[in-house]
Amino acid sequence: MKYTRISINTATPAEARSRVMIIYTGGTFGMTYDESGVLIPFDFSLIKEQLPALRNLFLEITVVSFTKPIDSSNISPEHWKAIGEIIFENYQAQDGFVVLHGTDTMAFTASAISFMLPNLAKPVIFTGAQLPISQPRSDARENLITSLEIASAKQDGRPLVPEVCIYFDYQLLRGNRAKKVESMHFDAFESGNYPVLAKAGVKIDYNLAAISTPSTGTLRLLSTFDSSVAILKLFPGISPQMVDAVLNTEGVKAVIVETYGSGNAPTAPWFVHSLKAAVGRGLILLNVSQCPGGMVEQGRYETSKTLADIGVISGGDITLEAAVTKLMLLLAEFGSEETRARIGVSLAGEMA
């Protein structure tokens, strides 16, 4: 994958207080209108003119842009690998990272990156915008300025937020706990099962108790993904043919079963038989709730106890986005048996 790279010192002539890398992948954030009214990628060499407030941050900024910006609807594991490699290769030289990404799949990518970088001890802040930066009412300016401030923030010489996060609409969320919930308003993301890490007002109020403890290990990069994952979303009236079609899809190694409430599912004999047969064939079945908040508690009701009895694994309070990316990475790195053992264990704060 090809990139362009530029350096911008917003502190000149003073000394920069921190070094932050911006990784621009595409999305609404970096679009602007040309003279004919067509949306084109923003020229980041002009960012100080577009955002004069950057000069007050006193940062040495390096911008790495995908040569061909990607609409987030087209994001794939190949792009996750590229982002992870950029962070890994520049990790020692930077104090933090800001990833500009389209909002539609941002929670998937943030989740993937959180699993790809074991022992991460520096901020990786994902952000974007609902309106292009060239628009007068765009949320892009505040989102970028505050993301850069968070990515460069330190306490006693150490990064204040040493984890993968999403910053949007004045709130900082753990990346693998976030979901996109809004397409027409600026508050696009929420984290139903984990506290907000920070709120930006007159000052940035950090919830230090909820932020990850910095790792003391050496950063590693896991960059392979196995896309042999499917999703079976339950609904009243779902047919045996549809369930069997998903469970018997050629090549599928793991299926996320999106259940009701706290992990409940039909107890119809045909349904139980289909799931039990799939487990018997070695398929990994992960129970994830359709609810944006709360968690799977297999056995709390009779309708979920049956799932536990036949070998369905509880996903606890994991999001669908984190479940998908975690399964893909574990399957590729460790194989099915090891994935079965690891999927229910928190790797990067994605589940309780």
Domains 3-210 and 229-342 fall in the same CATH topology: yes
Quote the CA–CA distance of 114 and 258 in Å, as a whole number: 22
Phi/psi-derived region of residue 330, left when phi > 0, alpha when psi is between -120 and 50, beta in every other case = alpha
Secondary structure of residue 259 in the 3-state scheme: strand
Q: Give me the pLDDT at residue 34, please.
A: 63
CATH-assigned architecture of domain 229-342: 3-Layer(aba) Sandwich (3.40)
3-state secondary structure of 334: helix
Q: Which residues are catalytic?
A: 28
Question: Given the DSSP bridges, would you call strands 171-174 and 164-168 parallel, antiparallel or unpaired?
Answer: antiparallel
Among 151, 169, 48, CA closest to 103: 169
Phi, psi angle pair for 198, to nearest 5° = -165, 150
Query: For position 246, what pLDDT does the model report?
Result: 98
Alpha-carbon distances, residue 112 vs 116, 134, 143, 235, 272 (angstroms) = 6, 30, 21, 28, 31
Average pLDDT over residues 279-288: 97
Quick check: 98 and 88 in contact, CB under 8 A? no
Instruction: With CA atoms as reference, report the closest residue to 23 among 126, 117, 119, 129.
Output: 126
pLDDT in tens, 18-48: 999 999 998 777 666 666 766 566 677 667 7
Q: Tell whether pTM > 0.75.
A: yes
Looking at the chain, the number of H-run helices and the number of E-run strands are 8, 19
Q: What angle do CA 119, 121, 127 make, to 5 degrees?
A: 110
Confidence label for 301 from pLDDT (cuts 50, 70 and 90):
confident
Which CATH number does 3-210 carry?
Answer: 3.40.50.1170
Residues facing residue 9 across a β-bridge: 60
pLDDT tens profile 51-108: 778 888 899 999 999 988 888 899 999 999 999 999 999 999 999 999 999 999 999 9
CA torsion sign, 138 to 292 to 260 to 252?
positive
Q: What percent of the chain has pLDDT over 70?
A: 94
Q: Where are the domains of the chain?
A: 3-210, 229-342
